[in-house]
């Protein structure tokens, strides 16, 4: 036992000193098989004859200590003390009721402090502050060489910030990240191609064209400090199962981190379905441990064929434990929201996505969030938002009524169509094309 402890101590010190991994090959055995009621002799008779004759490690260690002069009375006293402690814990387990707070660390306790958020329902940002963020994260260093197309993208973003008009999806996301970091949160994003974005829409890391390395706009605006007020975008290897499992653990340990995992395409989450079923959807119910992980799952049949298509919205809705959601974040409805296991959102505007991400961190609880991320909306002008849609006092809207000024009076509307996600823009375009003015289109976000 001492050798095992010594080996792990050396391994830990080696890793801390040299920054390299260590593999410890530790061989053990099960005395009782799978559990105390299992009979391993049914299938492993020869092995378990050897194990049956094997002297327990505790007894081997006991004999060693006696040979080294440790009094048997001292060892007997230790046995009694341990046995009594175990018996007392067993008795208490019969009546103890485990509460959510029993699992809370200081970090988890801190998110329940409503004074740090102001109005918890308000996810908007002061427009002067928002413009300040936008001006900084859309400017590339003039002395560095970047790809011409990237420079064009950032100039367009800069122009939209200056005008306060037509903020696209990638810019809205960056503004959400920057504003949350400014409020003391940490933002972490991982997945395949997340630095650039699978659809070249994010460009969180902008790579130099004449040297190795990249420029990270958000980190250069808001430097690292001891409170982890930083931003991490990390391209991951092609193992959705492993990466999502890691990020779930990270989010559980760090509730003050907006932790996002982005699938390259929505159906790539298939490779992580075990993690989604066993942990994301049901972890709190099973273990009373909350988690605020965000899954970004690009959705839509536009381009790339059947294997790069859908996040299977029905799958995630089936995993939720509620039939419907309250339409507004009133105090009572806020408490109802806190009781659900996770949320599924299908945004249709850049501002909606902005508010959704900020809501995830400004709440006094954490729940997993499935974002049915768009494809064509990333660059669709109609899905862009003006600064007015981001301002203080606004929040994520669960349902968006028809905003068209061309419709007939409400009483004369012939039909109401409910839809979700980017199909809204197809319906709207067809309605305009046909000159229809008595059909309303309502978006369920």
Cβ-contact 294, 260 below 8 angstroms: yes
pLDDT band at 77 (very low <50, low <70, confident <90, very high): very high
pLDDT band at 111 (very low <50, low <70, confident <90, very high): confident
pLDDT band at 33 (very low <50, low <70, confident <90, very high): confident
* pLDDT, mean over the chain: 89
pLDDT top residue among 238 and 418? 418
pLDDT top residue among 198 and 387? 387
pLDDT top residue among 128 and 36? 128
Inter-CA distances, 422 with 18, 26, 268, Å: 50, 53, 20
pLDDT(202) > 90: yes
| Tokens standing for residue 215 | 């420029």
pLDDT digits (tens, 9 = 90+) for 291-332: 999 999 998 877 666 667 788 899 999 999 876 665 555 555
Percent of the chain's residues with pLDDT above 90: 69
pLDDT(9) > 90: yes
Supply the pLDDT for residue 303.
65
pLDDT digits (tens, 9 = 90+) for 143-177: 999 999 999 999 999 999 999 999 999 999 999 99
Assign 3-state DSSP to the chain and report helix, strand, coil percentages, each to 5.
45, 10, 40
- The mean pLDDT of 32-54, rounded to a whole number, is 88
pLDDT band at 337 (very low <50, low <70, confident <90, very high): confident
Q: What's the predicted TM-score (pTM) here?
A: 0.84
Percent of the chain's residues with pLDDT above 70: 93
pLDDT band at 100 (very low <50, low <70, confident <90, very high): low
Nearest residue to 386 (alpha-carbon basis) of 155, 129, 160: 160
Phi and psi dihedrals of 106, rounded to 5? -60, -35
CA 68 to chain centre: 53
Phi and psi dihedrals of 38, rounded to 5? -75, 150
Supply the pLDDT for residue 13.
96
Q: Who's near 280: CB < 8 A, 6+ residues apart? A: 244, 248, 291, 293, 295, 342, 368
pLDDT band at 386 (very low <50, low <70, confident <90, very high): very high
Supply the pLDDT for residue 96.
81
Supply the pLDDT for residue 305.
61
pLDDT band at 137 (very low <50, low <70, confident <90, very high): very high
For every residue of 319-358, DSSP letters joined together read HSS-S---SS--HHHHHHHHHSS-EEE---SHHHHHHHHH
List, in order of start, the domains of the chain with CATH numbers: 2-103 (no CATH), 106-397 (3.40.50.12470), 410-444 (no CATH)
pLDDT(120) > 80: no
Give the integer Cα–Cα distance in Å for 139 and 217: 8
- The mean pLDDT of 336-343, rounded to a whole number, is 86
Give the integer Cα–Cα distance in Å for 350 and 56: 63
pLDDT(444) > 80: yes
Supply the pLDDT for residue 37.
83
Cβ-contact 287, 363 below 8 angstroms: no
pLDDT(357) > 60: yes
pLDDT(58) > 80: yes
- The mean pLDDT of 334-353, rounded to a whole number, is 89
pLDDT band at 339 (very low <50, low <70, confident <90, very high): confident
pLDDT digits (tens, 9 = 90+) for 225-281: 545 558 999 999 889 999 999 999 999 999 999 999 999 888 889 999 999 999 999
């Amino acid at each position: 036992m001492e050798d095992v402890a010594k080996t792990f101590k050396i391994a830990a010190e080696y890793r801390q000193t040299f920054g390299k991994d260590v593999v410890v090959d530790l061989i053990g055995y099960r005395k009782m098989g799978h559990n105390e009621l299992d009979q391993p002799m049914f299938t492993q008779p020869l092995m378990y004859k050897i194990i049956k004759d094997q002297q327990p490690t505790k007894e081997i260690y006991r004999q060693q200590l006696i040979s080294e002069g440790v009094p048997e009375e001292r060892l007997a006293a230790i046995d009694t003390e341990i046995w009594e402690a175990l018996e007392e814990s067993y008795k208490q387990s019969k009546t103890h009721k485990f509460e959510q707070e029993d699992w809370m660390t200081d970090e988890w306790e801190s998110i329940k402090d409503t004074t740090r958020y102001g109005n918890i329902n308000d996810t908007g940002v002061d427009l002067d502050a928002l413009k300040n963020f936008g001006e900084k994260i859309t400017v590339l260093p003039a002395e560095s060489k970047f790809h011409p197309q990237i420079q064009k993208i950032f100039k367009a973003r800069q122009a939209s910030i200056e005008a306060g008009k037509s903020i696209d999806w990638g810019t809205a996301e960056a503004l959400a990240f920057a504003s949350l970091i400014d409020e003391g949160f940490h933002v972490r994003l991982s997945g395949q191609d997340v630095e650039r974005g699978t659809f070249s829409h994010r460009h969180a890391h902008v790579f130099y064209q004449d040297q190795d390395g990249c420029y990270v706009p958000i980190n250069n605006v808001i430097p690292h400090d001891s409170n982890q007020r930083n931003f991490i975008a990390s391209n991951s290897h092609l193992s959705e199962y492993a990466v999502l499992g890691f990020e779930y653990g990270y989010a559980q340990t760090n509730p003050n981190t907006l932790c996002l995992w982005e699938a390259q395409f929505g159906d790539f989450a298939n490779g992580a379905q075990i993690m989604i079923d066993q942990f994301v959807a049901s972890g709190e119910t099973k273990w009373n441990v909350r988690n605020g992980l965000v899954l970004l799952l690009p959705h839509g049949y536009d381009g790339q064929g059947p294997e790069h298509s859908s996040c299977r919205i029905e799958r995630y809705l089936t995993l939720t434990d509620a039939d419907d959601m309250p339409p507004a974040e009133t105090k009572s409805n806020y408490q109802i929201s806190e009781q659900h296991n996770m949320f599924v959102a299908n945004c249709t505007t850049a501002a909606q996505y902005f508010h959704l991400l900020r809501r995830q961190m400004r709440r006094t609880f954490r729940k997993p969030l499935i974002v049915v991320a768009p494809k064509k909306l990333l660059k669709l002008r109609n899905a862009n938002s003006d600064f007015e849609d981001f301002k203080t006092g606004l929040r994520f809207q669960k349902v968006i009524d028809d905003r068209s000024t061309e419709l007939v009076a409400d009483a004369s509307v012939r039909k109401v169509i409910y839809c979700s996600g980017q199909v809204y823009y197809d319906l709207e375009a067809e309605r305009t094309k046909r000159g229809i003015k008595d059909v309303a289109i309502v978006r369920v976000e």
